[in-house]
Chains A and B, each alone.
Chain A
Amino acid sequence: MTMNSKRRGITQAIAAVAIGAGVAGASPAALAQKQYGPGVTDKEIKIGNVMPYSGPASVYGAIGKAAAGYYQMINEQGGINGRRINFISLDDGYSPPKTLEQTRKLVEQENVLALVTTLGTPTNSAIHKYVNQRKVPHLFIATGATKWGDPKGHPWTMGFQPSYQPEAKIYAQHILETKPNAKIAVLYQNDDYGKDYLKGFEDGLGDKAKTMIISKVSYEVTDPTIDSQMVQMKASGADTFFNITIPKFAAMAIKKAAEIGWKPTHYLNSVSNSVGATMIPAGLENGVGIITGLYWKEPEDPDFANDKAILDYFAFMKKYLPQADTKDLNYLYGYSNAMTVVEVLKRCGDNLTRENVMKQAAGLKNFNVPTLIPGIDITTGDDDFFPIERMQPARFDGKRWVRFGKVLGR
């Protein structure tokens, strides 16, 4: 009996080993499967980006620089699953034909796995059809235009920040609730960004838009000052002001309003609510009472002085971008955007095909980016291509943005 059970034991052991070896040998794919799309090797992942490092929108080049610094930091920490990130970022000068040319270079010559963080609406519009035809992931693009969250029509393109129209609707809602007889003046930049916000605002006011908005003035990015527009709006008798301007002009607007003695209820779009880039140049005392929608933790905010995410951010900036002006929120944006890209690539594991990248990007559920204020995280789904959708209203008290109410949005 002992001999038989011993033999059975050995036979079983041999069988087990044989089966195990057979399984391992017969289907190596199932266990250690590596699937690579373009631009991926065992050692490297290539991703591409186009940014306006020159030209009228060069201030946003900071986003690309911060992202590049972040990828460098990840590489120094060992990379993603052992692979280093090769981040190729090209300049387009904010000119759509150039954006197309650089994008084609990245896709057809550099063979990047994905395009990330590309900036601007007309520039992204120029490549929108191309990337979807070529099935290249076009992720976390740096623009809030509402049209980027279109999974049915353009399954390869995904936005990042809260889009402009829903944000404007939040402000419209607030006005209807708190000041239903308001006389509103709107200052908007005469381009896609300004008009997208304006549309959301008017839609949010609904039928009352025509009667409530008594003054609508625009400006061009090339205008030296907007003094004339400010005077015009004050003269209209408006008591509420929706300010759709980029930081430089927002600062001018706040300063001028104070100078001419106009004190409306002031709603400031989130593109320009950075304390460092807008409120300080405007004069902190001039900004008291301004309302905005917040989603980033403001680095200058004393409330976050000991917040780990902000301390990490400052350490990062000091090491990788020592000359940069940390008060510029664009750097925080690029840092956070890169963090999200890294998360998606990490989740791909060894399956680094373009399809899987897209799948992981569309599968982020409550991913916490620590630089977002508490209550806001990144969620995407097969029909939800808006990663960050929530904001919290906040009011400026002369030093910082004080959040009030609840986090709004999906």
Chain B
Amino acid sequence: MEAFLLQVLSGVTNGGIYAAVGLALVMIYQSTHHINFAQGEMATFATYIAWALIQVGLPYWIAFAATLVIAFAGGVALQRIILRPVEKAPVLTNVIVFIGLLVIFNAVSGMLFDHTIKVFPSPFPKEGMLISKYFSGHQLGSTLVTLTVLVCIFSFLRFTPIGLAMRAAALNPDSARLVGIKVSWMLAIGWGFAAAVGSVAGMMVAPIVFLDPNMMSGILLYGFAAALLGGIDNPWGSVVGGLIVGVLENLLGAYVIGTELKLTVALVLIVAILTIKPDGLFGKTVVTRV
């Protein structure tokens, strides 16, 4: 029984990681209607920046905040400089540009910071009242942070005028322009936020999986799965999706199929769920008018 509980809880931890990455993907999708394949590598790069700031001596939360700002600025710059020329190009052209960004960020991370794993500190205490051997301080803390980010994103998109403008720009750029929304800048801000959310995900994940240039390569697929499972246009969905993926994968590996086929079976299940509910568990069905 204890083992089962531990499996579920470690699945929840993993799920939290996937959810955080999934959130960044949802963020980008909501503001640009693109899936950013470079999200993982951007998050890793941002985490390296945080690491470098901490190495130089900045206290954790200052480095954290600084990284958020740098990531935001970087995301905006990325959109303005690199993505704008292909804004009007076909979807797949954009996808290839994302892939290009993916390899660039990965290579630059490796070149600047080398490939040996680095320890990234966790700001959360190891001991405390809620902490027993079921939850570590970091697991609780990072879950809290992820939920906070989620609430912020959701409220921002739902309740603020800029959030509305961003959603409008993504859904119907032409109509949005007609009502005076600067579509291009909305996209840029969307990228900025996504980069910032990604950097948070990276900084929460790195203490658990250690920091190296390929840190996110395994996680990206799961983040992708989490976002899609929950519905690509639903931030809450990606959290639930992440948890489902995390717990499912652990339970399958431990009790059903053994670890040698764990990944395969988890993926088959995700595809199966999507086949039954093609817009994700909480997604809105898009109806096209003939």
- Determine whether A and B are in direct contact in the complex, meaning some CB atoms lie less than 8 angstroms apart: yes
Q: Are A61 and B209 in contact (CB under 8 A)?
A: no
Q: Bin the interface of chain B by size.
A: 35 or more
Nearest B residue to A261, CB-CB: B133
Known contacts A251-B210, A261-B133: does B218 contact A223 (CB below 8 Å)?
A: yes
Report the minimal beta-carbon distance from A344 to chain B, rounded to whole angstroms.
Answer: 28
Name the interface residues of A169-194: CB closer than 8 Å to any CB of B.
Answer: 190
A59 / chain B contacts, CB cutoff of 8 Å = 115-117, 212
Partner of A58, one of B10, B14, B214: B214
- Asked if B259 is at the interface of the complex by the 8 Å CB criterion, the answer is yes
Q: Are A56 and B117 in contact (CB under 8 A)?
A: no
Q: Which of A7-15, A110-118, A323-331 contacts B (4 or more CB under 8 A)?
A: A323-331
Q: Main SS of the interface on chain B?
A: helix
Q: Are A324 and B114 in contact (CB under 8 A)?
A: yes
Q: Are B259 and A219 in contact (CB under 8 A)?
A: yes
Q: Are B217 and A222 in contact (CB under 8 A)?
A: yes
Q: CA of A247 to CA of B253 in the docked complex: distance in angstroms?
A: 22
Q: Are B117 and A251 in contact (CB under 8 A)?
A: yes
Q: Are A225 and B14 in contact (CB under 8 A)?
A: yes
Report the minimal beta-carbon distance from A328 to chain B, rounded to whole angstroms.
Answer: 4
Q: CA of A109 to CA of B252 in the docked complex: distance in angstroms?
A: 50
Report the minimal beta-carbon distance from B152 to chain A, rounded to whole angstroms.
Answer: 25
Report the minimal beta-carbon distance from B288 to chain A, rounded to whole angstroms.
Answer: 37
Q: Are B6 and A260 in contact (CB under 8 A)?
A: yes
Q: CA of A340 to CA of B52 in the docked complex: distance in angstroms?
A: 36
Q: Are A62 and B115 in contact (CB under 8 A)?
A: yes
Nearest B residue to A246, CB-CB: B117
- Asked if B127 is at the interface of the complex by the 8 Å CB criterion, the answer is no
Nearest A residue to B119, CB-CB: A281
A77 / chain B contacts, CB cutoff of 8 Å = none
Q: Are A323 and B253 in contact (CB under 8 A)?
A: no
- Asked if B213 is at the interface of the complex by the 8 Å CB criterion, the answer is yes
Q: Are A58 and B213 in contact (CB under 8 A)?
A: yes
Q: Are A228 and B260 in contact (CB under 8 A)?
A: no
Nearest A residue to B208, CB-CB: A225
A252 / chain B contacts, CB cutoff of 8 Å = 208-210
Q: CA of A327 to CA of B13 in the docked complex: distance in angstroms?
A: 29
Report the minimal beta-carbon distance from A235 to chain B, rounded to whole angstroms.
Answer: 3
Q: CA of A190 to CA of B264 in the docked complex: distance in angstroms?
A: 13
Q: Are B217 and A62 in contact (CB under 8 A)?
A: no
Map CB proximity to A onto B203-215 as digits: 1 under 8 Å, 0 otherwise: 0010011101110
- Asked if B44 is at the interface of the complex by the 8 Å CB criterion, the answer is no
A221 / chain B contacts, CB cutoff of 8 Å = 218
- Asked if A229 is at the interface of the complex by the 8 Å CB criterion, the answer is yes
Nearest A residue to B253, CB-CB: A228
Q: Are A222 and B212 in contact (CB under 8 A)?
A: no
Q: Are A58 and B115 in contact (CB under 8 A)?
A: yes
B217 / chain A contacts, CB cutoff of 8 Å = 56, 222
B210 / chain A contacts, CB cutoff of 8 Å = 248, 251-252, 281
Q: Are A328 and B259 in contact (CB under 8 A)?
A: no
Name the interface residues of B1-49: CB closer than 8 Å to any CB of A.
Answer: 2-3, 6-7, 10-11, 13-14, 17
Counting residue pairs across A and B whose Cβ atoms lie within 8 Å, the total is: 106
Q: Are B7 and A228 in contact (CB under 8 A)?
A: yes
Q: Are A323 and B119 in contact (CB under 8 A)?
A: no
Q: Are B260 and A218 in contact (CB under 8 A)?
A: yes
Q: Which of A218, A225, A260 has the most CB of B within 10 A?
A: A225
A223 / chain B contacts, CB cutoff of 8 Å = 218, 263
Q: CA of A328 to CA of B119 in the docked complex: distance in angstroms?
A: 13
- Asked if A234 is at the interface of the complex by the 8 Å CB criterion, the answer is yes
Known contacts A58-B110, A228-B7, A324-B114: does B212 contact A248 (CB below 8 Å)?
A: yes
Map CB proximity to A onto B99-131 as digits: 1 under 8 Å, 0 otherwise: 000000011001000111111000000000000
- Asked if B250 is at the interface of the complex by the 8 Å CB criterion, the answer is yes
A232 / chain B contacts, CB cutoff of 8 Å = 3, 7, 253-254, 259
- Asked if A21 is at the interface of the complex by the 8 Å CB criterion, the answer is no
Name the interface residues of B240-268: CB closer than 8 Å to any CB of A.
Answer: 249-250, 253-254, 258-260, 263
Name the interface residues of A305-338: CB closer than 8 Å to any CB of B.
Answer: 323-325, 327-328, 330
- Asked if B222 is at the interface of the complex by the 8 Å CB criterion, the answer is yes
Q: Are B208 and A325 in contact (CB under 8 A)?
A: no
Nearest B residue to A236, CB-CB: B3
A54 / chain B contacts, CB cutoff of 8 Å = 106-107, 110
- Asked if A382 is at the interface of the complex by the 8 Å CB criterion, the answer is no
- Asked if B143 is at the interface of the complex by the 8 Å CB criterion, the answer is no
Q: CA of A225 to CA of B212 in the docked complex: distance in angstroms?
A: 14
A277 / chain B contacts, CB cutoff of 8 Å = 116-117
Q: Which of B116, B205, B217, B249 has the most CB of A within 10 A?
A: B116
- Asked if B95 is at the interface of the complex by the 8 Å CB criterion, the answer is no
- Asked if B157 is at the interface of the complex by the 8 Å CB criterion, the answer is no
B184 / chain A contacts, CB cutoff of 8 Å = none
Report the minimal beta-carbon distance from B19 to chain A, rounded to whole angstroms.
Answer: 13
B17 / chain A contacts, CB cutoff of 8 Å = 224
The 4 nearest A-B residue pairs measured at CB: A235-B3, A227-B10, A222-B218, A228-B250
Q: Which residues of B contact A (CB under 8 A)?
A: 2-3, 6-7, 10-11, 13-14, 17, 106-107, 110, 114-119, 133, 136, 205, 208-210, 212-214, 217-219, 222, 249-250, 253-254, 258-260, 263
11 cross-chain CB contacts under 8 A: A54-B110, A55-B214, A58-B213, A61-B115, A222-B218, A227-B13, A229-B259, A248-B210, A251-B210, A281-B117, A328-B116
Beyond the given A58-B213, A248-B212, could you list 4 further A-B residue pairs with CB under 8 A, ordered by the A residue number?
A: A54-B110, A59-B116, A62-B115, A231-B7
